[in-house]
Amino acid sequence: MKYITLNNGVKMPILGYGVFQVTPEECERCVSDAIETGYRSIDTAQAYHNEEGVGNAVEKCGLPREELFITTKVWISNSGYERAKASIEESLNKLKSDYIDLLLIHQPFGDYYGTYRAMTEAYKAGKVKAIGVSNFYPDRLVDFCKFNEVLPAVNQVETHPFLQQRKAHDWMRKYGVKHESWGPFAEGKNNIFSNPVLKEIGESHNKSVAQVILRYLIENDIIVIPKTTHKERMKENINIFDFELSKEDKQRILELDGTESLFLSHYDPETVEYLTGLK
pLDDT of residue 191: 97
Binding residues for substrate: 106
What's the Cα-to-Cα distance from 182 to each of 100, 158, 159, 179, 224, rounded to whole Å? 19, 5, 6, 10, 7
Q: Please, are residues 18 and 43 in contact by the beta-carbon 8 Å criterion?
A: yes
> Which of these is catalytic: 39, 48, 116, 216?
48
Neighbours of 1 (CB within 10 A): 12
**Residue 48 known to be catalytic:** yes
pLDDT of residue 279: 86
DSSP annotation string for 114-125: HHHHHHHHHHHT
Binding residues: 106
- Reported as a single tens digit per residue, the pLDDT across 227-265 is 999 999 999 999 999 999 999 999 999 999 999 999 999
Provide the b/e sequence for 102-133 (b: ≥16 CB within 10 Å). Answer: bbbbbbbebebebbbbbbeebbeeebbbbbbb
- Domain map (residue ranges) of the chain: 3-276
CATH of range 3-276; options 3.20.20.100, 3.40.50.150, 1.20.1050.10, 3.40.50.2000? 3.20.20.100
How large is the average pLDDT for residues 58-62? 96
